[in-house]
Structure 1
Amino acid sequence: MSAADTAFILICSALVMFMTPGLALFYGGLVRSRNVLSTTMHSVVMLGIASLVWWAAGYSLAFGTDHGGLIGGFDYLFLNNVGMEAGPAENLPHLLFMAFQCMFAVITPALISGAYAERIRFSAMAVFSALWLIVVYAPMAHWVWGGGWMDEIGALDFAGGAVVHMSSAAAALAAANVLGFRRGYGREAFIPHNLPTTVLGAGILWFGWFGFNAGSALAADGAAANAFVTTHMAAAAGIIGWLLVERLHGGKATTLGAASGAVAGLVAITPAAGFVTPGSAVVIGLIGGMLCYGGVFLKHKLRYDDALDVVGIHGVGGTWGALATGIFANSAIGGVDGLLNGNVYQLWVQFVSVVATWLFCYVASWLLFKAIDKVMVLRVSGEAEIAGLDVSEHNETAYQI
């Protein structure tokens, strides 16, 4: 084992953990003031729920002994057989590899919460998130990173384009379809109540994303340095791409657009960060910003209420990033070539992984939402929604007048 690699991944794990409070700020600023605490709570509580689910069974199902390419075994239930010895990454203590992966498991269900903000019951959300980690996230992590079938066919996902972004976006779409529209949707203006909070959250996400992507190299080496630089350049290009289209379409470049564009670029580069050059990352981020700007309008065209644009940014950005990996991958960087370097097959593999991810995650999430709605009711009452979920669900108010 390497002391340098261990120190590096310890830091990266802490950075990824910090992304979840950053997401809480990002989402919290986007909702109306009467729902800021409930929206923040959706992210913060995942530090508790997801961590314990990961400890009990999630890690084992994701990284335990492979069973048919579909799911891991029960080798590591309650972290049995997970100690200070080397683990799946032979240069790192097993406990550290588990902890790094735990932080990914924490933020992914928190991402989904942007879709059902302002109208879901807290208890139903908590039950859904715990079950979703077992039924959807753990299999996805196993398929891609734990020796499952996507790994076997050669699908590339450096840090979570499919496992994190597309999976959460598919679940977000299912949530929007099951829950329906917020009261007043299409008739009232749903205006973010605190954009400086959202910009601060975006900055924390960008900061933490260095741990997310560079840490996925699992070593303090050149691959981590490349992932660090491609991450930054894609985010920078994502801002410019989003603002260019926003200016052309709406006449003004906005602060929210800049924050959203940065996140779009970060999402797009996530699957590709360890496989492409910085120049390719600029192209991926620039196009990602443009595509995600268009993606947020899908909900108006397709008639679903994704409150905070999880589908438009994480779904569109993650899908583009996965396909872009198959286009721009360079064997001099990550050992695999993509379409532009003569490997057409890699783009096909990426396409297959995208379709499979969307289908599995949407169907499984829709069934979970439907089942929970039958048992305990997903949505708050109309009166509670009008009063705001801060008061009706948590008996709190964010601001004292």
Structure 2
Amino acid sequence: MDEKKTSLYDVHVRYGGKMVPFAGYLLPVQYDGYGVIQEHMAVRRDCGLFDVSHMGEILCEGEGALENLNYLLTNDFTNMRDGQARYSPMCNENGGVVDDLIVYKVRDNHYFIVVNAASKDKDFAWMLEHQRGGAKFRDISDNVGQIALQGPKARGILGRIAGDEVIPEKYYSCIFEGEAAGIRCVISRTGYTGEDGFELYMAAGDAPALWEALMEAGREEGLIPCGLGARDTLRLEAAMPLYGHEMDDTISPLETGLSFAVKMQKNFIGRDALEKQGTPSRKRVGLKVTGRGIIREQAGVYAGDGKIGVATSGTHAPYLGYPVAMALLQAEEAVPGRRVEAEVRGRRVEAEIVELPFYKR
């Protein structure tokens, strides 16, 4: 299958992006002259710019849109204000996770949903299969570009090309009728890095002009382009779960620590299965590597000779300066401060169970 290109492909090449296939697209993993660590540190200290146009965007509209979302997703969307965003897992009948996503309320009976790139087609098919009560789901991903501006200087940089009235003040809120550098866009105060920042949605064809306007506005603030590599190390340091790693069709949202987004008092797909499962038997935890080596996904985690779970993601954490991993462990074994070992290429690497997140701004 040929990989698709986002509308920013030529911009990445011009900026020295090292292009790799990811979720059906060709995207920059890092940029010449920077690299993952420098890009990561720019976001923690100054600001970074990401192309996230590969993400999926789906509309849910019509009478019954709210009821349909409440049935489909584990979170409750009843009391949302216009312009508010809310995170939610979407479960299958067995209580496993189909995907995790963000829902924005545009207005009554009109919702904008952002889903993971690799799961977009599966998610949309699942939504259509469970479309009911006069609600209609529509996939608009191919027409939408998405750029993420992330880091402590994001607000100041965006303020140079957008008026205060279109910059959302609250985390997890957005302005739908926004404009930046004269380009119409949705401006959302959200992100996947553990820093303050914004995600901007615009017509795909407008993405290159908005990218250049942001780069120009952030030139003196240390803004640099960032690739998939830094996106992953940043989210891991901030202990943000990634679909296909910390959750999947066999891992429940309660096991991976997302109970805040699971409202058991309402009816949703998978609720009965979650109720039947009772207290989760597994728990997502952090591992701080104290030995030598990096614990990667799928590495077995041991207490003595007994296997107590498996690592779900791992990397060297650039800002913290040591390797970390997230793991799904037997709940009774997941005690902070406990020493464990992970199996890495046939040898054991020592680690300590720690509370999440590893990094908090």
More helix per residue: 1 or 2? 1
> How does the TM-score come out when normalised to structure 2?
0.28
More strand per residue: 1 or 2? 2
Structure ranking higher on relative contact order (CA contacts 8 Å, 6+ apart)? 1
